[in-house]
Copies of this chain bind each other. A is one copy, B any other.
């Protein structure tokens, strides 16, 4: 009982105290309200599932990044979820398989991974997201980028910027425009991701070097990419990107980094990352993909608002509290709560309103500032 380390939390896990818990709850509620208002229905999958089932619906989900344990009931391995997207894919392909498409679902919940990394040591995250199942068109992608921006704005993010990418760029170009052997593709992708012109040349991808310069503010970068794409292999993708960009122009700063692939390994033609002023790292990402198992096209995004919580928690307003002295007018207190005040009732004569964080005291039927 006297071990001073016995109250420590494991590395990468933390308690949210009142300011930060209030910020996280407010952000979650605001984002979910926006998704609901845009016709997305909430689903709530369980925290744990069979490991095999969890792995099935997105090819990219590596269960070795999850805490796993044997279920004494089934004697099978369970995994604590590290991602909710795959679970929503499962729901769309099973319980909601016959619901008309496009199917719009949203979710919010905690996810956990075994190991954090240097950039992001957190092992538990709040994941909030939406999936539009049955379409990966530019119209679907435009709706989802716009929705992600609206959800983050409602949550209090400002100065939002969105970086577009074309995850299957190399595969598309390698067919005709800049031919590559299948075994060269991985190396070319890697060197493009590393933005290494010398490496590209060595990997036999010299023709891809101009792509390294087709990134930056959206309009300019899209023009450079169009100039590079003389053969027109990227024409429909460029048209799609422009359609999405037109839809959210004025709502966010837009950039394009067509060869960015890290984190988009399982996206199809379109991916995006979303940032906000004063918030460390990316707040979320999304794109088009095929749901594993059912092979249905979908477009979705996930937001990880932890760093937004960190950025705003210091100024989070918990609301003014009115101290209710012993023997107070209970009807008046209920009325104040109805008007949005928070009340805090005395338990004994010793309770000190100021020490307990109250800004007001109820006198008769009125809150009086301390």
Residues of B within 8 A of A36 (CB): 319, 342
Q: Is the CB of A53 within 8 A of B16?
A: no
Once the chains are docked, how many angstroms separate the CA of A7 from the CA of B343? Answer: 48
| Shortest distance from the beta carbon of A277 to any chain B beta carbon, whole Å | 23
Q: Is the CB of A91 within 8 A of B53?
A: no
Q: Is A224 an interface residue (CB 8 A)?
A: no
Once the chains are docked, how many angstroms separate the CA of A37 from the CA of B341? Answer: 7
Q: Is A41 an interface residue (CB 8 A)?
A: yes
Contact with B along A123-156 (1 / 0, CB 8 A): 0100000000001010110010000000000000
Residues of B within 8 A of A100 (CB): 352, 355-357
Q: Is A263 an interface residue (CB 8 A)?
A: no
**Chain A contact residue count (CB 8 A cutoff):** 88
Once the chains are docked, how many angstroms separate the CA of A345 from the CA of B181? Answer: 42
Given contacts A12-B73, A13-B46, A137-B347, contact A6 B53 (CB under 8 A): yes
Stretch at the interface among A110-118, A212-220, A232-240: A110-118
Residues of B within 8 A of A187 (CB): none
Residues of B within 8 A of A11 (CB): 73-74
Q: Is the CB of B46 within 8 A of A15?
A: yes
Q: Is the CB of B347 within 8 A of A96?
A: no
Residues of B within 8 A of A41 (CB): 18, 21-22, 318
Most interface-central of A44, A105, A342 (chain B CB within 10 A):
A44
Within 8 A of B (CB), among A71-98: 71-74, 76, 78, 80, 87, 90-91, 93-96
Q: Is A293 an interface residue (CB 8 A)?
A: yes
Once the chains are docked, how many angstroms separate the CA of A110 from the CA of B355? Answer: 32
Q: Is the CB of B347 within 8 A of A135?
A: yes
Identify the closest chain B residue to A134 (Cβ): B347
The 5 residue pairs across chains A and B that have the minimum distance between CB atoms: A39-B344, A16-B44, A18-B41, A13-B46, A21-B44
> Interface on A for B, CB 8 Å cutoff?
1, 3, 6-18, 20-22, 24-25, 29, 32, 36-39, 41-50, 52-53, 56, 67-69, 71-74, 76, 78, 80, 87, 90-91, 93-96, 100, 102, 104-105, 109-110, 112, 114-115, 124, 135, 137, 139-140, 143, 293, 318-319, 321, 337, 341-345, 347-348, 351-352, 355-357
